[in-house]
Amino acid sequence: MIFMVVINSKQEAVDTVKRWLEEEEYEVSLVPDESTDYNFMIVKGYMVLNIGFHKRSSDSLIVGGKIRFNPEEQSIIKNITTNLELLYDIDIICAQLNLELVTTPVKENGEYSLEDIRLFKTLYFDGLTKQGFLDSLIGIFHCFRLIVAKFDILARTRTAPA
C-alpha cells in the first residue's frame, strides 16, 4: 500500500523531503540560489544532485544534477558526436527513466562537443510519496553512472561506437 503525504504548503514539502533524505542517510546541505526558496544539495560518491523548490512554483520541486566534461572528455565526444549515436543512447536511457535531458553544446573549429549534461525531474506535491521521490533520485544517479561508464569505455578505447 502506498501512503501519500498530504502537503498543504511548500514549507511542509521542504520539511518532508529533508526528513526523507535524512532518514536515508544522505548528507543534506542548504545551498543559496536566487531562483529557489530552498535548494538542497546531496552527494553520492562523485555525483551531486540538487533538490530545488523554485520561487515560481508553489506545488512542485525539481530534482536535478549535472555532469561537466573537461577538455579531454570534450575532445573524445567531438570524435563521436557526428553520428549522434552516443547522444541518442543517452536520450533513450533518460526517456526510459522519464528524465528531462538538457545538453550544453560547444562549437570549436566547426566541430561540436558537449560542455555538460543535465538531468531533471519535476515532482508535484499532490502525488509526492517517499518511494516516488527516492525513485527519482536513484534514477538520476543511475543514469549519470551509466553515462560516466560509457565515457570511461570510450576514453579507454578512443574509438567511436559502431
- Write the single-letter amino acid at 99: L
Q: Is the pTM of this model over 0.85?
A: no
In 1-129, where does DSSP find H-type helix? 10-23, 71-80, 85-96
Q: CB-based burial of residue 37 (10 Å sphere; 0-12 exposed, 13-18 middle, 19+ buried)?
A: middle
pLDDT tens by residue, the chain, 162 residues: 656 678 889 999 999 999 999 999 999 999 999 999 999 999 887 788 999 999 999 999 999 998 887 777 777 666 655 446 777 888 888 998 899 999 877 777 766 677 788 999 999 999 999 999 999 999 999 998 888 887 777 777 765 555
Under a CB-based contact definition with an 8 Å cutoff, are residues 74 and 139 in contact? no
Task: Cell 552516443: give the residue.
Answer: 86
User: Reading across the β-sheet that carries 36-44, which strands appear in turn?
Assistant: 28-30, 36-44, 47-54, 60-68, 111-124, 100-108
Would you tell me which CATH number, out of the four given (1.10.3720.10, 3.40.720.10, 3.30.1460.10, 3.30.390.50), belongs to the domain 10-157?
A: 3.30.1460.10
**Domain residue ranges of the chain, discontinuous segments joined by +:** 10-157
